Amino acid sequence: RERNERMTVGVFLSQPLISADFHTPDQQQQHLVGAARSPHRYPKVRELGIMLLEIFLGREIDSFRAEPEAAVWLRGGQACAYTDHRIAKWLFKTRVQTDTHVLKPLKDVIGRCLEDKAIWASVTASKRTDKSGSSQISLIRKAIHDLLVTPLESLIQVNYEDPYDLKPLYEQDAAAFARQASDATRPAHQRRHKQQADILQGSLARATTSDGMGIHGEISPGDIELGKRWLGDLDKVQGLLQAGNTPQKVRVVVLDTGFSPKHGGLHYDIERGNYKDFVDGEDDERRDLTGHGTSIARLIFDEVDLYVGRVFESEKSVDDSFELLERGIKWAVAKDADIIVLATGTDVKTYDGVRSAINTLPDKVLVIAAAGNRDHCERVVFPARMPRVMCTFATTARNCILTTLNPGPLPRAYNFGIFGVAIQPEGWDMTLSGTSYAAAIAAGLAASLLDFSRQPVQEGERRLNLEGFEKMNVVFEELARDNTDQGYSCIVPWRLLHILEEGRSEQEHRRRIREFLADLLSQRM
């Protein structure tokens, strides 16, 4: 993007526009006249500080370049790579720190964003005291959370009293969904996806099911078959990854409305010791009054050690919903969970207990949460919008996003979409759609990859570790490469099969996949 009509050597991300200099080191010394010679350690944090400063002052940072004091950071009247950062620091010192009417938490956060010393000091101190072997990324995340996120959340909660609202993500009414998809008045970019979303054509009468969750509609056989083909391709990938000799099964914990062995006409069960009822406390009597949690559990990869925690009774949240969810997360940790699935969310505000429980999870735990559905929320819900959580959106079997179903993408690197529209596995008597079910399928894929990484290696093979948020993000990003849609990264699991050579044995295929994933992590981590 061109800026100031002349400078085109930078990359500008979001707002505020901060350049990334691509000069060689020698050129940088000449180019950065009047600017700081050493960059901010955390560019995105710097951007946040400038954005907050712009909001506070009511002016974009560019507009201050005409101020006489800013001339020292301009070369011939032109901005260099760190001009705006230097101007922001000057404005903070002269107009924010000296203003006694500015709330202290806001002052603190802006200052910590513009200078990286506080975060760096926190990370350095944590390194000295940390005995759990936390990664550098985890320490940085913790410092950012403690020094920036917590003060801002406290400021908002004190000044903006909104009621808490937490409930399972109940997908929108099928008929209304179909009307939205066929609305000729939609913007052009939405009409373009009408052909991709032709599963919504025709009668989508609501099925007479007891759960009332998802789009349990009368969908055409062709659409159902397309979805079954997608699931069949996923089965091929999971079947190849599964060798049957994993020393420890992957543990997946679903926190939802419970579990019923006979829901939907299927007889599917989990170990009795793997069920916990936080609502009624009756662990021996497994129940799910809605069927939502049961459907989530059934969509997950079969070859896992599956646990279900009942933290909701129905679609209506109650006074202790947050407390039960927090207890459920801690129970999952006690069960040594590898993956936690949360098809729940609130569009109102966060809850400290749940936020803290997620942020203090062991690094190895991956949390996958549903993004929410557009009829209930215009933006991604909490906790899916937390940086520590893998947020999932729902795609069609053609790996395309429906804007009528999904909330807008998050302004961050990962917005993973995966199959979640018109799902009807073999033997099911209902068809499901929604980001809740996409989260379940994403969890199943993650579990099969994690199971693969734990299989014993043969002589000459490299060990593979796919535990945790960061590593699985890298793999999912690769599986969505070259398949983005409107800012969403749509996962295609069978991309793993594209790297294989015909005529090889399954063992050779698995060895090739292991090498591919190991190389991928070494390059991007």
**pLDDT above 50 (res 186):** no
The average pLDDT across 328-332 equals 98
Confidence of residue 270 (pLDDT cuts 50, 70, 90): confident
> Is residue 1 a part of any domain in this protein?
no
Cα gap 54→62, rounded to integer Å: 10
Q: What is the 3-state secondary structure (H, E, C) of 248-310?
A: CCCEEEEEECCCCCCHHHCCCCCCHHHEEECCCCCCCCCCCCCCHHHHHHHHCCCCCEEEEEE
Number of domains composing the chain: 2
Same domain? 72 vs 186: no
Determine the 3-state secondary structure of 404 from DSSP. Answer: coil
Q: In this predicted structure, what is the pLDDT of residue 158?
A: 60
User: Tokens 């060895």 identify what position?
Assistant: 511
> Is residue 14 a part of any domain in this protein?
no
Q: In this predicted structure, what is the pLDDT of residue 214?
A: 35
For the record, the structure tokens of 485 come out as 């849609």
**pLDDT above 70 (res 50):** yes
**pLDDT above 50 (res 36):** no
Same domain? 362 vs 502: yes
Same domain? 148 vs 245: no
Confidence of residue 152 (pLDDT cuts 50, 70, 90): confident
Looking at 96, 126, 159, which one is the last position of a domain?
159
Cα gap 182→285, rounded to integer Å: 44
**Full domain range(s) for residue 473:** 167-455+467-524
Same domain? 239 vs 99: no
Same domain? 218 vs 325: yes
Residue 394 pairs in a beta bridge with 418
Percent of the chain with pLDDT over 90: 44
Number of other CB atoms surrounding residue 494 within 10 Å: 13
Residue with the larger pLDDT of the pair 12 and 199: 12
Length of the chain: 525
> Which residue, 169, 200, 204, 207, is CA-closest to 186?
200
Same domain? 413 vs 322: yes
> Is residue 35 a part of any domain in this protein?
yes
Q: In this predicted structure, what is the pLDDT of residue 402?
A: 84
**pLDDT above 90 (res 77):** no
Same domain? 132 vs 177: no
Give, in order, the Cα–Cα distances in Å from 214 to each of 79, 193, 200, 307, 466: 52, 21, 14, 22, 31
Number of other CB atoms surrounding residue 52 within 10 Å: 21
Looking at 101, 136, 159, which one is the last position of a domain?
159
Q: For the domain that residue 223 is a member of, what is the CATH number?
A: 3.40.50.200
Same domain? 130 vs 173: no
Residue type, position 206, single letter = R
Cα gap 325→357, rounded to integer Å: 10
Is residue 319 a contact partner of residue 351, using CB atoms and an 8 Å limit?
no
User: What is the average pLDDT score of the chain?
Assistant: 79
User: Tokens 């590898």 identify what position?
Assistant: 338
> Is residue 7 a part of any domain in this protein?
no
Looking at 123, 138, 159, which one is the last position of a domain?
159
Same domain? 186 vs 155: no
For the record, the structure tokens of 245 come out as 């000799």
Same domain? 193 vs 154: no
Same domain? 82 vs 213: no
Min mean pLDDT across 127-136, 161-170, 205-214 is at 205-214
Same domain? 110 vs 195: no
Q: In this predicted structure, what is the pLDDT of residue 27?
A: 46
pTM above 0.85, yes or no: no
Q: In this predicted structure, what is the pLDDT of residue 1?
A: 33
The helix (H) or strand (E) run that includes residue 79 is strand 78-79
**pLDDT above 50 (res 245):** yes
> Is residue 108 a part of any domain in this protein?
yes
Is residue 488 a contact partner of residue 435, using CB atoms and an 8 Å limit?
no
Q: For 86-118, how does the pLDDT look when each residue is reduced to its tens digit (9 = 90+)? A: 999 999 999 888 766 667 888 889 999 999 999
